Chain A
Amino acid sequence: MSAITRDEVSHLARLSRLALGDDELDHLAAQLDQIISAVARVQEVAAEDIPPTSHALPLTNVYRTDEARECLTPEQALAAAPATEGQRFRVPRILDEEA
């Protein structure tokens, strides 16, 4: 059984705003299937006594003191922006979507 279906790849492509053609979907679905299967082998060594983890560091509660520091200047902040206007980042129109 495949680790990921062609439909799922299509769904992910849409979420990632990638316009993939049918050929590309076929190609990538097969590739991703192989990648996921390979990575899934990690699960074979996960025994009952190994808890799932999301971090490599055995740390908790790393906090900083609430102090304001110096920021970038607007010029620095906007320096790498493809387009700016009125000291703001100018971005292409956002179609029918709101976060």
Chain B
Amino acid sequence: MKYDEALARFEPVLGIETHIELGTASKMFCGCPTGFGAEPNTQVCPVCLGLPGSLPVTNRSAIEGIIKIGLALNCDIVEWCRFARKNYFYPDMPKNYQISQYDEPLCVDGHLDIEVEGETYRIEIERVHMEEDTGKSLHVGGTTGRIQGAEYSLVDYNRAGIPLVEIVTKPIPATGDRAPLVARAYATELRELVRSLGVSDVRMEQGSMRCDVNVSLMPRGAQEWGTRTETKNVNSLRSVERAVRSEIERQAGVLDGGGRVVQETRHFHEEDGRTTSGRSKEEAQDYRYFPEPDLVPMAPSREWVEELRGTLPELPAARRGRIQGEWGLSDLELRDVVNAGAVDLIEATIIQGTDAGAARKWWMNELSRRATEQGVELADLPITPEQVARVQAMLTAGELNDKLARKVFEGVLAGEGTPDEVVAKRGLKIVSDEGELSSVIDEVIAGNPDVADKIRAGKVAAAGALVGAVMKATRGQADAGRARELILEKLGAS
């Protein structure tokens, strides 16, 4: 069913589960390193391979990391809780279980405020719990990479045991046709929040942040929620939005045809934005959770929790409020700066002495345009805030004009060196030598006697043509204002 029609008849309810790998040096329960992209099975030991006799010991930094996330999400940090064993038969965990938390999560009852189209939505957080990531399976045979029809699988346990935080929202009702945007805004804000805490690199493309999106529909005006599906493999912010939209359309179609939505896991496909059925939740595994006997309970002292609260940085929402005031931005301008990923860059440029307006102008116009042309993120352009500040300093000092500054950026981005090196190599300095400028103007006047006569006769407006000629002769490196003054002076029209 078409999206608008679906929304006219049904009200969606959302729920989002997010997994975030913490950026600790070692794994959750053993000393194996956690680097991304290592050769298969080079970051494994008896503990994360589940070899007999090995015992896990909890990583303190991981617990600090999850408590920081819990605090930043306004959660209560419980005074006592345990890990639980989640038993299942799937070779991505060699132990045949995953150490997780079940009915005693470490952080509970939080919230995160997000904004969509000028309206604030409070997303309630049900729980934040600690667990370990699983290994990676490579399915061989059948359709490449798909589990269905595979002949066998190859498993790499480097990722098994990496600290993983799961953040679960309460059901999110009453978002109407903004449901996909709300889901995306939540994932975006959560990513920013966790990134600001410095506990994870939250790179969705590398899997260090992954979202599962729950969607259900109920007829408009109904009180009872419909049956939900859980869509997995949603690994970009854009996909979060698309997955919600696609599930709303699909479920509306099912309900409209008199069918019923089956409670199940669905898989998201990046190629066409559709979801397909996975295993049915009604036959879901019975995980036979029980308290993990190899680990003692956690009882974070209130002193420790408050100490960690004291280390929290300025959180993104507070920071946005501050910079909006300091930089004098409208809501729309602020949103553009945030969406462009330019906040850190502009702030770092300002710290180097550039005024807010200029810093924002360069990053949001010239450099954003070039990033878009090259298909890269603004932060990935090969230019630093220090370099941008240097260009602006030269501009302010009158050594460069706007046009030349753009050429300096072009040179820096092309790998020609620092702004000063580019200026030197390309010879971009404004011709500030009065003698040189004066002789160029003499040549231009001599070459344009008609225009010169007009100016002498009082038609000052005609000076523009001569200024243009001077700029051309100096390849744009003259100070146009000064050139104009000199021209008028020489022709006795000033």
Contacts and interface: CB of A to CB of B under 8 A. Distances in A.
Interface of A: 11, 15-17, 54-55, 57, 59-74, 77-78, 85-94, 96-99
Interface in B10-44: 24-26, 30-34, 39-44
Nearest to A63: B60
Contacts of B297: 54-55, 60
B324 interface: no
B33 A91 contact: no
B152 A65 contact: no
5 contacts: A55-B296, A68-B33, A77-B49, A78-B41, A94-B153
B321 interface: no
Given A68-B32, A74-B40, A55 B154 contact: no
A69 to B, nearest CB: 3
A15 B43 CA distance: 30
B131 to A, nearest CB: 12
Consensus secondary structure, chain A interface: loop
A61 B91 contact: no
B60 to A, nearest CB: 4
A89 B299 contact: no
B61 interface: yes
A73 B44 CA distance: 8
Given A59-B296, A88-B41, A98-B278, A71 B33 contact: yes
Interface of B: 24-26, 30-34, 39-46, 49, 57-63, 80, 82, 88-94, 134, 137-141, 147-148, 150-157, 232, 265, 278-279, 285-286, 288, 290-293, 295-300
A98 B265 contact: yes
A99 B39 contact: no
Nearest to B22: A66
Given A11-B286, A62-B57, A68-B26, A89 B32 contact: no
Contacts, number: 149
Contacts of B34: 68
Contact of A91 (B31, B88, B155, B285): B155
B90 A94 contact: yes
A96 B298 contact: no
Contacts of B151: 93
Contacts of B88: 99
A80 to B, nearest CB: 8
Contact of B59 (A54, A66, A72, A92): A66
Contacts of B298: 60-61
Contacts of B62: 66
B60 A86 contact: no
B150 A66 contact: no
Given A87-B39, A88-B138, A63 B154 contact: no
B279 to A, nearest CB: 6
A90 B139 CA distance: 10
Central interface residue in A65, A88, A97, by most chain B CB within 10 Å: A88
A13 to B, nearest CB: 12
A93 B153 contact: yes
Nearest to A17: B89
Contacts of A62: 57-58, 295-296
Nearest to A15: B286
Contacts of B41: 74, 77-78, 87-89
A99 B92 CA distance: 8
Contacts of A88: 40-41, 138, 154-156
9 smallest beta-carbon distances between A and B, as pairs: A69-B31, A54-B291, A66-B61, A63-B60, A88-B154, A68-B33, A60-B299, A99-B90, A91-B91
A94 B57 contact: no
Contact of A96 (B63, B139, B148): B148
Contacts of B63: 63
B277 to A, nearest CB: 11
Given A60-B296, A93-B152, A98 B147 contact: yes
A70 B445 CA distance: 78
B492 to A, nearest CB: 78
Given A71-B32, A87-B39, A61 B300 contact: yes
B198 to A, nearest CB: 14
Given A62-B296, A67-B26, 9 more contacts: A54-B290, A57-B296, A62-B295, A67-B31, A69-B32, A71-B43, A93-B153, A94-B137, A98-B279
A77 B44 contact: yes
A17 B90 CA distance: 11
A92 B152 contact: yes
A7 B137 CA distance: 33
B45 A89 contact: no
Contact of A89 (B134, B139, B154): B154
Contacts of B278: 98
Contacts of A61: 296, 298-300
A55 B293 contact: yes
A54 B42 contact: no
Contacts of B40: 74, 86-88
B60 A66 contact: yes
A93 B43 contact: no
